Structure 1
Amino acid sequence: MDEIKDRVAAVVVTYNRAEMLRQCLMSLQKQTMPCDILVVDNASTDDTQALVQRAAQHDASIFYRNTGENLGGAGGFNFGMRWAVEVGYAFVWVMDDDCFPEPVALEKLLDADRLLQGEYGWLSSVALWTDGRECRMNRPKIKKNFYDRIELLRDGILLAEQATFVSLFLKAETIHAVGLPVKEFFIWGDDIEYTRRITIREKMPCYVVGQSRVIHAMKNNSGSNLAVDSVERLGRYKLAFRNEAYIYRREGAKGIAYYIAKRGRDFLWVLTRAKDHRLKRLGVLLCGVGKGLAFYPKQERI
């Protein structure tokens, strides 16, 4: 057990959600295969630091670092994954503070690692919402040719193309090889870029592990949709559309065509489905696309 504990680091990025973080830490402490817990605090102004420090007094596997400023989810994962790899962990398991893994979640990821003999880029858990149904925000993209490894279905494992940072498991050597998430994304799309970087650009096989499950305790399970989302969240879509422009531009003509099709769909949805602030929503869409044309962030390596 100590050997496993020394090898796996759970990286949890948090910001002003102390109660969520407390539940996340409790879920990690209940894992059947224990791990060290690295808490990355994006300069929270609530009692997050005090909560983690109290927990660490009773559990030597919990560690805390404050980024000094709000780096967003993307910057937080960049910070935390660098921390874990530089310390020397062999495996890095990343998640948000509102992610509550089932007790065997890590055990099943490690089982998949052994079954695959380490031949993978990343492994993703299945994210469920609080009612036990699929969490729409975290739906992985399954590869069309998943039948190339059809024998893995008996173990609940599927070839996948992209996933989110709500329970993503990687080897440290993979992070060394492909670099870190793009911190300039700030929020939204950093996990899609990173997982697709590994599957599409680096051509590593990656998998969803069906027996590894987590609860993603989002406020609602409606996913993301510019046409119907609340007006106070619209600013995030500028970043989403900017970041996706970078993601799909790097995948050539096919990626660019896909991006244009998605934005055309968003435009039509705003016209036909938006019940308020239609012009503002269209402005957000156009602004995000425009910013994406000149967005060339750096990819850091360790």
Structure 2
Amino acid sequence: MSVVALVVTYNRLNLLKECLDGIGSQVVDTIVVDNASTDGTKEYLDSLDKTCFKVIHLAKNTGGSGGFFTGIKFFMENYKSDYLWLMDDDTIPKKDTLAKLLEVIPSIDEFGFLASNVRFTDGTPALMNIPVVDPLDWNEFGYKGEFLPVIKSASFVSLLLPRTIIQRVGLPYKEFFIWGDDSEYTSRISATTTSYFVPESLVIHKMSQNIGVDIVNDDTDRISRYYYLFRNKVFLARKKHGRSKVKTFAGMGLEVLQVGLGHKVTHRMSKLLVMTRGIISGCFFNPKISYVHKN
């Protein structure tokens, strides 16, 4: 089983170095997509061994979704390897992270993707990366179960994709920029092919804080990014039907009410403006799925 790693990076040089050190000798080939970094990342990447690293420098920051779109497409067009191992630049793999993913493959049938167990730096589950699993059996230490849980969606933080699946379902929406591209893509995959969470495959998501995506309680400097979240959510909701569609729109409406009427909400007007812009934009947002030809 041959595997190529894919890392998308933007202005996090020190974390990128840790990420690539963590990947180490687990793979022979690594693709790095640089989203127009300005912190010395370009110079560092250009100094790497060209026989092991393929570096793609983008002319502008296309966000995580654009970076993964570019990297996955490049993999499909330039490699014949069986699997692609995806991660962000702040993902720090353990020495056996990939081995733990690969060792379960002989015991399962065809799979859509395999997702690692993502932890924060203190060992607790990373709140941004808790997958949607069935059965849902999480405690303070993570998932505990006898069998691999079937998974519905996951993040691009140590995800193993078969090339046959990429050929089948196409590429992620590059237009999403950030937030929602990974959950949409993995949901698209799991809707066609059973996918699994692998608890023994551990990685560290080295975020500055272990916080999830929650505009109501978010008190960081990333409020403007929620524009993309709500735009993308409205686009995906428009594609749904029946109760699922109603539930999604109702959930967004509840978030607007919580921001507008909540007693302890900070940056209230900024949040309401961002949400409104995102929701309106989502009504006219119409990206299309791109497919790749067989290599």
TM-score (norm: length of structure 2): 0.90
Preserved CA contact (<8 Å) 1:163 1:195: yes
Shift of residue 258 of structure 1? 2.5
Match of 1:11, SS?
strand
Task: After TM superposition, give the deviation of residue 273 of structure 1 in Å.
Answer: 5.1
Match of 1:173 in 2: 164
Is 1:10 the counterpart of 2:2? The answer is no
Q: How does 1:197-276 map to 2 (within 5 A)?
A: 197-200=188-191, 203-230=192-219, 232-270=221-259, 271-272=261-262, 274-276=264-266
1:114 shift after superposition: 2.1
Separation in structure 1 between the aligned mates of residue 81 and residue 24 of structure 2, nearest angstrom? 18
| Cα offset, 1:262, TM superposition | 2.0
Question: Structure 1 residue aligned with 2:40, among 47, 53, 56?
Answer: 47
Matches within 5 A, 1:123-142: 123-142=114-133
Q: Does 1:103 align with 2:124?
A: no
Partners of 2:201 and 2:20 in 1: how far apart? Answer: 17
Matched ranges for 1:154-165 at <5 A = 154=146, 157-165=148-156
Secondary structure of the equivalent of 1:232? coil
The CA RMSD measured in Å over matched residues stands at: 1.9
- The structural deviation recorded for 1:289 is 1.4
- The alpha carbon displacement at 1:52 in A equals 2.0
Conserved 8 A contact 2:117-2:203: yes
Which amino acid in the other structure matches residue 272 of structure 2?
L
Q: Which amino acid aligns with 1:133?
A: T
Q: CA deviation at 1:97?
A: 0.2
| Structure 2: stretches of 5+ with no match in the other structure | 138-143
In structure 2, the CA distance between the partners of 1:80 and 1:182, relative to structure 1 (3 Å rule), is same
Give, in whole Å, the separation in 2 of the partners of 1:231 and 1:120.
38
Structure-2 change in CA distance of 1:228 and 1:154 (3 Å): closer
Q: Residues of 1 paired with 2:36 and 2:267: CA distance?
A: 32
The answer (yes or no) to whether the contact 1:93–1:169 under 8 Å persists in 2 is yes
Give CA deviations for 1:152-208 in whole Å, capped at 9, x if unaligned: 9435x21011101011111011101100000000111000110111123xx211111
**Separation of aligned partners in 1, 2:265 and 2:243:** 33
The alignment's TM-score, normalised by the length of structure 1, stands at 0.88
Matched AA of 1:28? I
Counterpart of 2:21 in structure 1: which amino acid? Answer: M
Q: Tell me how far 1:53 sits from its aligned partner.
A: 2.7
In structure 2, give the amino acid aligned to 1:65.
I
Distance of 2:266 and 2:274 partners within structure 1: 14
Q: Which residue of 1 aligns with 2:141?
A: none
Counterpart among 86, 104, 113 of residue 105 in structure 2 = 113
After superposition, the C-alpha distances for 1:60-80 in whole angstroms (9 at most, x for unaligned) are: 322211122211100000000
Q: 1:26 to 1:145 in 2, by over 3 A?
A: closer
Q: Partner of 2:49 in structure 1? A: 56
In structure 2, what is the Cα distance between the partners aligned to 1:199 and 1:110? Answer: 19
How far 1:30 sits from its partner (Å)? 5.0
Deviates more, 1:227-236 or 1:189-198: 227-236
Displacement of 1:138 in angstroms is 0.5
2:237, 2:82 → 1: CA distance? 30
Structure 1 residues 60-116: Cα deviation after superposition (integer angstroms, max 9, x where no partner) = 322211122211100000000011111122211111000011111100111122221
Please say if residues 227 and 273 of structure 1, whose CA atoms lie closer than 8 Å, have aligned partners that are also in contact: no
